[in-house]
Amino acid sequence: VTQGENNLALCDTYPPDLVVPASMSDLELRRVAAYRSKGRLPAVVWAHPDPTNGATISRSAQPKPGVQNKRSADDERYLDELRRLCHGKRMVIVDARSKVAAQGNRVMGGGTELARYYENVELFYGNIANIHAARDALSSLQALCRDGSGGNTAYDGGATWLGKLEGTKWLSMVHAILASAAKTVDLVHYERCAVLVHCSDGWDRTPQITVLAMVMLEARFRTMDGFLALVQKEWADFGHKFDERCGHTDESGEDQRSPVFLLFADAMVQLLHQFPARFEFTADLLVALLDQLFACRYGTFLDNCFVKRDRKKIHAATAPLWWYFHEHRAKFLNGAYDEDEGPPLIPSLQPKNVVFFDAYFRRFD
C-alpha cells in the first residue's frame, strides 16, 4: 500500500511513496515512525516474485529503546504484520552493526529491537564498520597505493603487498557487506523469512545490504537499466547523504565524509568477478558511476535526500545521471552476458575470492 505525499510528514528523508502493511492506520504509522531514528520507519523494498514464498525485505533505521528498554506496541505489531506476509514464519532483523555497537547506541537513545517483545523475531549482526572506520580504511588504502618512489604505486601482487592490503581492513569491510547480503538472500529465498535491514539511521550500511541482496536475488537487477534503477531507489530516493559522505559541500565537515558508496561498488565488483556472465554490464559501469558521483555534473546524487532535491528543484535544473549511461550504453555492455534467470547468486566468502578493485584503484598506474 503506497501512502503518497503523507509520508513526508512521517519522514522527510524518505521518498514520498512507501510500501507498508495495509492493516496499519495513519496514526499507528506515525507512532512507529516516532519510535525509529529520524522517523525512518520500516518500508518494504522487495517482495519475493514467487507468491508461495511471501518473503519480503524491508529497511528502516534503528529503534529507540534506549537504556530504559522503551517499547512501542505499534512497532511490535508493525513487524508482526510484515512477518505474517510470509505466511507467519520467522522474521530476522539484519542489523548491519556489530552487537557491541548496537548496544552502545542505547546510551544515545537508540539500540536494536528487544527480541523478547517481538513474536518469532531473531537478530543477526552484520559487523559492518561505521563511517569513521571506513574512512580510515580508505585513507590507509590510498597511502598503500601511493607507497612508492615518486608517488607511484608499489603494487606488485606479491605476498608482502597483499599483507599490507589486508592490514588496511578495506577488503574485510567488503567481505562483511557481502556476507550480510548473502545472509539476507539465504533468509528470504531458502528459509522464506521476512527480513528487516537497518543500521543506525538506515542510510549508509543499510542500502549496501539491500541493493546487493536484490542483485543476487533477481536477474532483472543485473541488467544495466535494472541496476541503475535500483541505485536510484535504494541510494538516492531513500536518503543516502551523498553531500556529506562525498564532501560535495563543506557544511558537514570532514568528520562526515566516508566512502560508503565506494565500499558498495567494491562489493558489486566481487559479484561481477565471481559471476562474469550473469551481468549485462561490466565493472567499467561501476568505475564510471563513481567518477560521475564525484564530478557532480548531474543532479541525481546532489544533496542528501529526495525532499531536499525536490525543494531546491534540482531535478528541473539538472539532467539525471542515467542520461549519461543511456548515451554511452554500448561501452558498458558485457559481451559474455547470459540473461538466464537461474538461482540466486551466492558468492564465495573465502578471503582468497575477495579481489582488489584494481580497475578503479590502479587505473592510472
What are phi and psi for residue 64, nearest 5 degrees?
Answer: -125, 60
What percentage of the chain carries pLDDT values higher than 90? Answer: 77
Q: 21-25, 155-159, 222-226: which has the minimum mean pLDDT?
A: 155-159
199 in active site:
yes
Mean pLDDT over residues 48-65, rounded? 95
CA distances from 221 to 217, 224, 227 (A): 8, 8, 5
Confidence of residue 9 (pLDDT cuts 50, 70, 90): confident
Domain that holds residue 304: 4-361
Q: Read off the C-alpha cell for 295.
A: 564530478
- The total number of structural domains in the chain stands at 1
Mean pLDDT of the chain: 92
In this predicted structure, the answer to whether residue 152 has a pLDDT above a threshold of 50 is no
Q: What is the structure's pLDDT at 149?
A: 38
Mean pLDDT over residues 57-62, rounded? 98
> Which one is catalytic: 199, 246, 296, 305?
199
- In DSSP terms, 125 is beta-bridged to 95
Does residue 58 sit in helix, strand or coil?
Answer: strand
CA distance 110 to 123: 16
Mean pLDDT over residues 87-106, rounded? 94
The count of other CB atoms within 10 Å of the CB of residue 85 is 18
- Measured torsion, CA atoms of residues 184, 176, 171, 324, in degrees rounded to the nearest 10: 40
Distance of CA 318 to the CA centre of its chain: 25
CA atoms within 13 A on the CB side of 253: 2
Q: What is the structure's pLDDT at 341?
A: 81
DSSP secondary structure letter of residue 294? H
Tens digits of per-residue pLDDT, 310-352? Answer: 888 988 889 999 999 999 999 999 999 998 888 999 999 998 8
Q: pTM of the entire structure?
A: 0.94
Q: Which of 328, 115, 101 is nearest to 228 (CA)?
A: 328
Q: What is the structure's pLDDT at 3?
A: 56
Mean pLDDT over residues 261-270, rounded? 98
Positions at the binding site: 130-131, 199-205
* 134 contacts 259 by C-beta, under 8 angstroms: yes
Q: Which of 153, 293, 325, 144 is nearest to 223 (CA)?
A: 325
Beta strands in the chain (DSSP E): 43-47, 56-60, 91-95, 121-125, 194-198
Mean pLDDT over residues 235-257, rounded? 87
Q: What is the structure's pLDDT at 364?
A: 79
What percentage of the chain carries pLDDT values higher than 70? Answer: 94
Confidence of residue 10 (pLDDT cuts 50, 70, 90): confident
Positions at the binding site for substrate: 130-131, 199-205
In this predicted structure, the answer to whether residue 151 has a pLDDT above a threshold of 50 is no
DSSP secondary structure letter of residue 237? I
86 versus 356: the higher-pLDDT residue is 356
